[in-house]
Amino acid sequence: MKRMDPGTNAEMVPLNKQRALMEVLQVSMKLGLTAFGGPVAHLGYFHHEYIIKRRWMDERSYADLVALCQLLPGPASSQVGIGIGLVRAGLLGGLVAWLGFTLPSVIALSGFALLLKGFDIGGMGWIHGLKIVAVAIVAQAIASMGQKLAPDRIRATIVVLVSVITLMWQAAFSQVLLIAAAGLAGIGLYGKSDGTDVPSLAVPISRRFSAACLALFFGLLLLLPLLSRLYPSGWISLFDRFYRAGSLVFGGGHVVLPLLEREVVPAGLVSQADFLAGYGAAQAVPGPLFTFAAYLGAMAKGLSGAAVATAAIFLPAFLIVAGALPFWDSLRRSPRVQGAMTGINAAVVGILLAALYDPLWTAAIAGPADFALVSILYLMLTSWKLPPWIVVIAGAAGGLLTGII
């Protein structure tokens, strides 16, 4: 491969297709085994491995791809990986990049679910500690996201309003309606800025293929709920629940928590204790947080359920990235789109704030000892900047200790 400055346009070297796919799989699997720390950290790992070390994409194209995935619903870091795989080795390259980055944590969380399945875990101290870890992790995410996505009074007001309405109005589609309303408010309040200076991104995907991906994305979003009504206890219903959650997540992996909780706990697929314990354990594994779906699927229907839930929650990310890339220029240059996303990003912080109280706080914090432990864990995350896996171990040990005392 010709060496070049990463700030210039990267030249793709012709590769044997099978070799290119194996190369993408090898690098993405390495990232799936080592990329701890959440979506922001994942983007740093990607930049080092894909851009600096291997020069698969130039700096400008990488920045544009990251910006696109931040704008779209879904797991941003996974979508960036899929996009790089698409550019490097075509459609199969995107699939292989996703598989390598996702598979290690899917295996780990599925195994954890099978280990716990059939046990009454409610009284286990270390499991209770994992619930408290989830409180600390989400609190940190809210603080970080709030600073970036709601830095002024108007957006802070949107956060609080959405949070209050979410807690008081717990209807089936309340969160979707609130996100849509926040988007409309964002257009009115922030949709007048000039977006014409946004840089462009060269995309190796035809618009016809992209249009087909977008049609499939929206078609499944509309069709699956209808089919699930005909088969309410079957695999279609399970696929529908996770596909819908993966389609409606804006703002990062932690926002999927309230969406998944609404889908699986009231339906009786997973108990609230199992749900919160798994979410805490998910912080200890590398890779995307969306692989929490594998844990939930395994708890509900074993290994087959883990496979179906994982495929369903990530399929929207693949379809949206492949569908949106060729239209990225016009999308980014639209002030209305940018304004809508400003409002939507504030709304998702509000949804996450509501989830911090219910179900997280109400289920995990039962007394002074729990409050003390969550305060320590939060300090470890925010002030000491310790890796999440260390915080998970500390939380499990603290929960075990408080249970003995």
Segment among 44-48, 58-62, 76-80 with least mean pLDDT: 58-62
- Rounded CA-CA distance 374/287 in Å is 24
- In terms of Cα–Cα distance, which of 64, 104, 103, 70 is closest to 84? 64
Q: Please name the helix (run of DSSP H) or strand (run of DSSP E) that holds residue 67, with its range, or none.
A: helix 59-71
- In terms of Cα–Cα distance, which of 91, 167, 118 is closest to 357? 167
Across residues 253-259, what is the average pLDDT? 77
Taken in order 387, 50, 71, 102, the sign of the CA dihedral is: negative
For the stretch 204-248, pLDDT in tens is 778 899 999 999 999 999 999 999 888 776 899 999 999 999 998
On whether the CB atoms of residues 239 and 263 are closer than 8 A, the answer is: no
pLDDT of residue 4: 41
pLDDT of residue 12: 43
Structure tokens at 259: 């969406």
On whether the CB atoms of residues 281 and 257 are closer than 8 A, the answer is: no
Q: Is the pLDDT of residue 91 over 60?
A: yes
- Rounded CA-CA distance 328/323 in Å is 10
Structure tokens at 329: 């220029």
b or e along 369-382 (b: 16 or more beta carbons within 10 Å of the residue's beta carbon)?
bbeebbebbbebbe
- Rounded CA-CA distance 99/78 in Å is 10
For the stretch 12-38, pLDDT in tens is 444 577 888 899 999 999 889 877 767
Most confidently modeled range among 199-213, 341-355, 365-379? 365-379
pLDDT of residue 8: 41
φ, ψ dihedrals at 261, nearest 5°: -60, -40
Whole-angstrom CA distances from 203 to 21, 62, 99, 199, 279 are: 19, 12, 22, 13, 36
Q: Is the pLDDT of residue 195 over 70?
A: no
- Rounded CA-CA distance 286/32 in Å is 6
Q: Please name the helix (run of DSSP H) or strand (run of DSSP E) that holds residue 303, with its range, or none.
A: helix 292-324
For the stretch 149-184, pLDDT in tens is 889 999 999 999 999 999 998 775 777 788 889 989
pLDDT of residue 110: 94
- In terms of Cα–Cα distance, which of 356, 162, 179, 169 is closest to 258? 356
- In terms of Cα–Cα distance, which of 270, 281, 13 is closest to 128? 281
Q: Is the pLDDT of residue 264 over 50?
A: yes
Across residues 281-290, what is the average pLDDT? 85
What type of residue is 76? A
Q: How many CB atoms lie within 10 A of CB 37?
A: 14
Taken in order 200, 203, 208, 214, the sign of the CA dihedral is: negative
pLDDT of residue 307: 96
Percent of the chain, pLDDT > 70? 86
- Confidence bin at 3 (pLDDT 50/70/90): very low
HSE-CB at 144 with a 13 A cutoff on CA atoms is 18
Structure tokens at 176: 């979707």
- Rounded CA-CA distance 316/78 in Å is 11
On whether the CB atoms of residues 186 and 339 are closer than 8 A, the answer is: yes
Structure tokens at 351: 């949804």
pLDDT of residue 219: 96
Domain boundaries, the chain: 17-404
Angle (deg, nearest 10), helices 153-168 and 335-355: 50
HSE-CB at 204 with a 13 A cutoff on CA atoms is 14
Structure tokens at 32: 């799936």
Classify 138 as helix, strand or coil: helix
Q: How many CB atoms lie within 10 A of CB 2?
A: 7
* DSSP secondary structure, 4-29, as one string: --TTSPPPPPP--HHHHHHHHHHHHH
- Rounded CA-CA distance 94/196 in Å is 29
pTM, two decimals, is: 0.75
Taken in order 95, 101, 103, 105, the sign of the CA dihedral is: negative
- Confidence bin at 40 (pLDDT 50/70/90): low
- Confidence bin at 252 (pLDDT 50/70/90): low
pLDDT of residue 179: 84
